[in-house]
Structure 1
Amino acid sequence: MRACFRGAISMAAGLMLLPLVAMAETNASHGESMPLHSEPAAYTEASRDLLASLTLPSLNRPSYASRTSDLIYLDNGVVLEGGDLETIDGYTSGFRLTAGFSPVNLPQLDLGAEFTYRESDEVPTRYSDQALLVNTTTLGGSLVAGVRMGQLGFYAKSGFAEWEGDPVTQSEPLYMATTGTARIQGFGARLQHNRLVSRLEFEEIDAPSMAHLNLITASLHFAF
């Protein structure tokens, strides 16, 4: 059984080597020599090109991107960022999606458009001097602009949010839906020093009923 197996391997190897032998004989008949090994310089240049492509400005994190967000780099230069939104008090949850790019002639400038969706459950508020618990849904859209200066980055955002609130109490006087449009504004900064990244952001929705969505967030990340 082993002899048959070895014979089959030898036959397969012989069939694979036949084209190489025929090519070598053809080159020899024409007075040409076939190099046995490729030049190592080609591999060295390829490695340099690969390292250079990984350090392009377009692959840097935008100034508005958080450390924990997911980034997708498209071939046309657009950068997609997405992440979940959740407040510490547990009232609000949702997600944020940002599409941005950096101009070719200004690679340190970040421009983008942000879309946010938030749901808040049983938020305490007041309406006509009455205390209420309301469930709110908010859709927001903003334009974002930022600049990166070495390890420091600044960004600002401005836009509008459409919100709707439904009181949890279903009594007749309070059974009403409140809706409105409010302005979104915010700014932030990010500082990166080696593996340490710190970030500070302030975001405000200019509506008294949406005061629970006004956020000041600070984060500190250290990569091990």
Structure 2
Amino acid sequence: MRTCCRGAIAMVAGLTLLPLLAMADEPAPLQGMPAAYTEASHDLLAALTMTRFQAPSYAGKTSDLMYLDNGLVLEGGDLQTPDGYTSGFRFTAGFSPVNLPRLDLGAEFTYRESDEVPTRHADQALLVNTTTLGGSLMAGVRLGQFGLYAKSGFAEWEGDPVTQSEPLYMATTGTARIQGFGARLQHNRLVSRLEFEEIDAPSMAHLNLITASLHYAF
């Protein structure tokens, strides 16, 4: 009886140790592989940081940038004029050519709404609500931490006088040219930006702006 128990115990112990013996027979991974992979990854990240992940010359705040795997750089933000008449948003998509990493190319889309803007029509003072859709092509170059850029495009606008009296009521629409240029300087986490933008239409003179911003990322 004791012999049978001892045989059963030995059989169970052998079955338990078989997986451990099989794992011990497998070759151990090379110790140098993780180090080589880590080094290659660091080199790749450094190359991407120097070329692709640099902020474009036309970019505003770096926190608003989004980098896609296909090389596109997206930026969006709200628009608000200091006089309080106009609000809206701006969306920009751009990229830098692989063979010209310091050159920035992009396209910008803007939407603006202006409420009760004072203007004149037929020698009469009016308050006009305007809506503007604009699209521009942008090009810039980065020289170290300093960048210059220019934009050119068209805007479709529509204006409706607030006064609804018959002699003064006249909805106006039109297409005008957008042109502008700007400069951007980044020093560590401090980003300064200056831009001039003009819409070549007398009714849209309230959208001609010179803007300056100073941003420090904490």
Please say whether Structure 1 and Structure 2 have the same fold, judged by a TM-score greater than 0.5.
yes
Query: Among the aligned pairs, what percent are the same residue?
Result: 81
Distance in 1 between residues matched to 2:216 and 2:32, nearest whole Å: 43
Question: Within 5 A, what are the aligned runs for 1:180-191?
Answer: 180-191=174-185
**Equivalent position of 1:21 in the other structure:** 20
Distance in 2 (CA, whole Å) between partners of 1:58 and 1:98 is: 16
The equivalent position to 2:57 in structure 1, one of 63, 83, 89, is: 63
1:2-28 deviations in whole A, cap 9, x for unaligned? xxxxxxxxxxxxxxx97862433434x
The one-letter code matched in structure 2 to 1:55 is: T
Alignment size in residue pairs? 203
TM-superposed CA distance for 1:49, in Å, is 3.5
Contact 1:202/1:215 (CA < 8 Å) preserved in 2?
Answer: yes
Distance 1:100 1:80 in 2: 7
- Report the AA paired with residue 128 of structure 1: A
Q: Deviations over 1:128-178 (max 9, x none)?
A: 110000000001111100000001000000111111000000000111101
Alignment of 1:22-61 (within 5 A): 22-27=21-26, 34=28, 41-42=35-36, 44-45=38-39, 48-49=42-43, 51-52=45-46, 54-61=48-55
Residues 12-63 of structure 1, C-alpha deviations (whole Å, 9 max, x = no match): xxxxx97862433434xxxxx6369676624642552464255141111111
TM-score by length of 1: 0.82
Shift of 1:85: 0.7
Aligned-residue CA RMSD (Å): 2.3
Match among 95, 102, 109 for residue 96 of structure 2? 102
Q: How many angstroms apart in 1 are the aligned matches of 2:85 and 2:172?
A: 18
Aligned to 2:121: 127
Bigger radius of gyration among the two? 2
TM superposition outliers: structure 1 runs of 4+ over 4 Å: 17-20, 35-40
Q: What letter is aligned with 2:216? A: F
Using a 3 Å threshold, how does the CA distance of structure 1 residues 43 and 77 change in structure 2: closer, same or farther? closer
Whole-angstrom CA distance in 2 between matches of 1:213 and 1:19? 80
Q: Which residue is 2:76 aligned to?
A: 82
Whether the 8 Å contact between 1:138 and 1:164 is mirrored in structure 2 is yes
Q: TM-score, normalised by structure 2?
A: 0.84
Contact 2:55/2:62 (<8 A) preserved:
no
Is the partner of 1:147 in helix, strand or coil? Answer: strand
Q: Which residue of 2 aligns with 1:208?
A: 202
